[in-house]
Amino acid sequence: MSSFDDRQKGFESKFAHDAELAFRAEARRNRRLGLWAAGLMGRSAPEAGQYADALLATALSENGSGRVFERVSADLQGQADPQMIRAKMESLLAEAWQELRGG
């Protein structure tokens, strides 16, 4: 195998690893966002878990982050404005990345 093939294989492995980390970070973010939103809605712990699971399913089956934002925005209408939700999404994603990187 040539060094070019080795480099190509290395890049492919890194790409796959990075894509997996991004998926895991977004999943963690979406779960925590669901728990946060459910708390604002006054839901009980079991209901909050169900809402967070439903939000994860939304992200997997539809347009990912865009649909998650739309759903949470609609559900929190009058309780949180879009800027607050976007800020929470960004902070939760940063936390998830930090955890996944071992920090």
CB 77 within 8 A of CB 40: no
Q: Tell me the C-alpha distance between 100 and 54, whole Å.
A: 23
Residues of the chain with pLDDT under 50: none
Instruction: Quote the pTM value.
Output: 0.85
CB 30 within 8 A of CB 59: yes
CATH architecture of 24-100: Orthogonal Bundle (1.10)
Tens of pLDDT, residues 65-89: 789 999 999 999 999 999 999 999 9
Q: Tell me the C-alpha distance between 98 and 103, whole Å.
A: 5
Q: Where are the domains of the chain?
A: 24-100
Burial class (CB in 10 A: 0-12, 13-18, 19+), 59: buried
